Every structure is written in C-alpha cells, then in structure tokens.
Amino acid sequence: MKSFLRKIVRKLYTEKIVFREPGIISHDLPPTFIFGVHRSGTTLLRLILDSHSRIAVPLESMFIMSLSQMWQDPLSMKGFAGMGFTSEHVRRKLKEFADYYFDSYTAAQGKVRWVDKCPHYIDCMDFIEEVYGPDCRYVFLYRHGLDVACSVADMPIEPAESHKIECGDPRVGGARYWALQSEKLLSFQKKVGARGIAVHYENLVSEPETVVREILQHIGEEWEEQILRFYEFDHCRGPGLEDPKASYSKKLGQSMGNWLSLEPELVQRMLTEAGPTLERLGYSHEHPRLEG
C-alpha cells in the first residue's frame, strides 16, 4: 500500500511525501494557523515547524477558501436549512471535513498535530475562527511592507494583480496589496487577543531560536534543536503551491531592506499606499534620499 501511494505522490509533487509510521493524532492540542501576506516568510516558517518531531505543516491547503465561500453563500445555507440542517450542524460537518484531510496528512507523516499556513486564508480568517472556535491558536507573520511589495512585483500573485494594474506600477500595487491584507491581519489579531502571537520576519531570520521558541511555547510544544536545520529534512513540496526558492533553500537566509535601492519618487508613491500600516507595525520607512 505504501509503495502504491508513493508512486501516486511522485506524479503530483516534484519531491515525494515521506511516509512514516502512522501517527496518532491528538485532538487535545489546539489547531494552529499561520497567517501572513504572500512573500512574508510563511514558507520559511512552515519548513522550520515541519522539522519538529511532532508537528506536520503541509503545503498550502487552499480548500478552506471554497468551504468559506459555501458558508457565506445565502443560497447554500438556505438549501441546508430546507433539508433540515441547522447552521451549527453544517459548521460541525465542515470542521469534520477539514479535520479529515489535516489529520490524515499528519498521521501519514508520523506526527501528532498539524499547523496550517496559507496566505490566501487572510480572506477567510473569520470563517476559520467560526469553525475552530476558542481552542484555535494563531501565528501572525509580518514583514516590512515595502520589501513585500518588491517581492510581489517580481512574480504573479493572483490577489495582488488587480492592484498592480490599478496603481500603474507593480511595486506601488504591491504596497497597496500588503497594506490592505496587513490591516485585515491587525484587525483579526486584535479580535482573538492572547490566542494569537505576532512574529516579524526580520526577527525570525535575525534571532530564529528566540522567535521559534516563543511560537512553540504559544502552541504548547517543546523546543527541538534540529528545527533550525530544516534544510536537512524531507518536506512535502509541490509546484505552484508555495515559493520554490524558499521551499528548496539550503540555509536560513535573510532578505531585508531591498526597497532602499529604489528611486525616492517611487518609494514615496509606495508610502502613500502603505505608510500608515508600516507605522502601525513599527516599521521605519526613512529613505536615505527622501526629504521630510
């Protein structure tokens, strides 16, 4: 059976899932979601946590977006009601549906709990909270918005494309996209209070052990030395589901301050879109060639 599954997975992924002895999933541990804007370091954090002996972090699961759309569709909910199913019953079944896939993946990895990361889920955070409730834990990953904008400009990020076009420059559009998504994160972080922990990419790559220890403490796991050597472990990887450069990285690299090389006029346009959000997150946006 394992041999058959390996053959199937090889066709789907550039690198196979590593099948270990099935794990026993613990539902006493809180489900955890990592929320961060595209290009904020979520793949790096996934690989680090996935290197923990007890934690499985899959590729971007994506399917929760579709579940949330059904949940928010009045016609779908009327259809369920007409068949005699309450919204609470539907909510429980949606949780069971999601848990089945997360738990099955986790067990196949020989782990006992899962953490999920998917930048698209910023747009369905309230649904996730509705489904998983007060036991859920969250990690909010932030990165300097102008660095994110530079990175978003260089590759197609579907939710950001309309902003790139409307703003007339991909970096300005990237700055707008980052600000809009980050404001959603900040609002949701305030809503869930102590069940969320804020992490900054810059601190993650500069002081990885300190930051990751805080994350593990937040979700109730012990520190393990090997997790910062994430590049020594096999991880599920798939085309088009996450940043390939980060996914196949062989070191804990840093990418900061790229926006400082931009022309000041362009930076000023980007700050028009992202300046207030940068200030709320405590990020400096002083450019060596910007006056005032």
pLDDT of residue 247: 60
Query: Residue 234: left (phi > 0), alpha (psi -120 to 50), or beta?
Result: beta
pLDDT (tens digit, 0 to 9) for every residue of the chain, 292 residues total?
444 334 434 433 433 334 445 556 667 789 999 999 999 999 999 999 999 999 999 999 999 999 999 999 999 999 999 999 999 999 999 999 999 999 999 999 999 999 999 999 999 999 999 999 898 999 999 999 999 999 999 888 999 999 999 999 999 999 999 999 999 999 999 999 999 999 999 999 999 999 999 999 999 999 999 999 999 988 886 666 766 666 666 667 678 878 988 999 999 999 999 999 999 999 988 766 655 4
pTM attached to this predicted model? 0.87
Radius of gyration of the chain from its Cα atoms, rounded to whole angstroms? 20
Helices 63-72 and 74-82 cross at an angle (nearest 10°) of: 70
End-to-end CA gap in the chain: 66
Write out the two tokens for 7: 């053959």
List C-alpha distances in Å: 123 to 4, 45, 180, 183, 185.
37, 20, 11, 11, 9
What token pair was written down for 236? 């599920």
Q: Which residues contact 201 (CB under 8 A, 6 or more apart)?
A: 40, 41, 141, 142, 143, 144
Among 120, 104, 100, smallest CA distance to 17 is for 104
Q: Which homologous superfamily does the CATH classification assign to the domain defined by 2-280?
A: P-loop containing nucleotide triphosphate hydrolases (3.40.50.300)
Report which DSSP code applies to 142.
E
Q: Report the pLDDT value the prediction gives residue 72, as an integer from 0 to 100.
A: 96
C-beta separation of 43 from 243 below 8 A = yes
Segment holding 141, helix H or strand E: strand 137-142
- Can you give the pLDDT at residue 132? 94
Q: Give the torsion sign (CA, 185, 186, 190, 194).
A: positive
pLDDT at residue number 5 = 38
- Please report the pLDDT score of residue 38 as a whole number: 96
* Residue 292, burial from CB neighbour count under 10 angstroms (0-12, 13-18, 19+): exposed
